[in-house]
């Protein structure tokens, strides 16, 4: 599924959101950016993937969207395996939190464009 201007396009609720928040260590990149890109690419190939949104300032937030909780939990195992294969959480993160949530309602708004396609 594609994105519009960085926002994930998700279907009518219910669907599942995995909220991954983290703080980084002071360490150099150590392959983090490559892992992060590989992770996004791999997620998009998983069954039940709906989309992903990501931003980092003091805190990093990645929200991935899935058709249901089973798809989200299957992805969690794949992601954990990928991190384990690489340098691992200890060198990248000072802390992280994963929250698996069921989206029950959503709404949004997009600015009208001069030449709407």
6-35 positions binding a second copy, by CB under 8 A: 6-8, 10, 13, 17, 19, 21-23, 25
Rounded-to-integer distance, Cα 109 and Cα 95, Å:
33
- Considering only 38, 74, 78, 98, the residue that binds a second copy (CB under 8 A) is 98
- Considering only 2, 104, 114, 115, the residue that binds a second copy (CB under 8 A) is 104
What phi, psi does 42 have (nearest 5°)?
Answer: -65, -40
Question: Interface with a second copy includes 99 (CB under 8 A)?
Answer: yes
Tell me if 26 sits within 8 A of 69, measured CB to CB: no
Question: Interface with a second copy includes 46 (CB under 8 A)?
Answer: no
- Residue 56 is classified by DSSP as E
Strand ranges across the sheet with 60-66:
15-24, 60-66, 49-56
Question: Interface with a second copy includes 44 (CB under 8 A)?
Answer: no
Interface region with a second copy, contact rule CB under 8 A, candidates 30-38, 40-48, 87-95: 87-95
Question: Interface with a second copy includes 54 (CB under 8 A)?
Answer: yes
Rounded-to-integer distance, Cα 111 and Cα 97, Å:
33
Tell me if 46 sits within 8 A of 74, measured CB to CB: yes
Residues at the site binding a second copy, with contacts judged by CB under 8 A = 4-8, 10, 13, 17, 19, 21-23, 25, 53-61, 63, 69, 89-90, 93-111
């Amino acid at each position: 599924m594609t994105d519009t201007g960085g926002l994930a396009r998700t279907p009518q609720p219910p669907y599942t959101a995995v909220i991954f928040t983290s703080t980084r260590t002071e360490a150099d990149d150590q392959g983090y950016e490559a892992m992060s890109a590989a992770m996004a690419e791999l997620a998009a190939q998983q069954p039940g993937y709906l989309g992903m949104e990501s931003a980092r300032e003091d805190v990093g937030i990645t929200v991935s969207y899935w058709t249901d909780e089973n798809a989200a939990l299957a992805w969690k195992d794949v992601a954990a395996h990928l991190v384990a294969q690489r340098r691992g959480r200890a060198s990248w993160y000072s802390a992280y939190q994963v929250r698996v949530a069921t989206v029950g309602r959503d709404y949004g708004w997009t600015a009208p464009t001069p030449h709407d396609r």
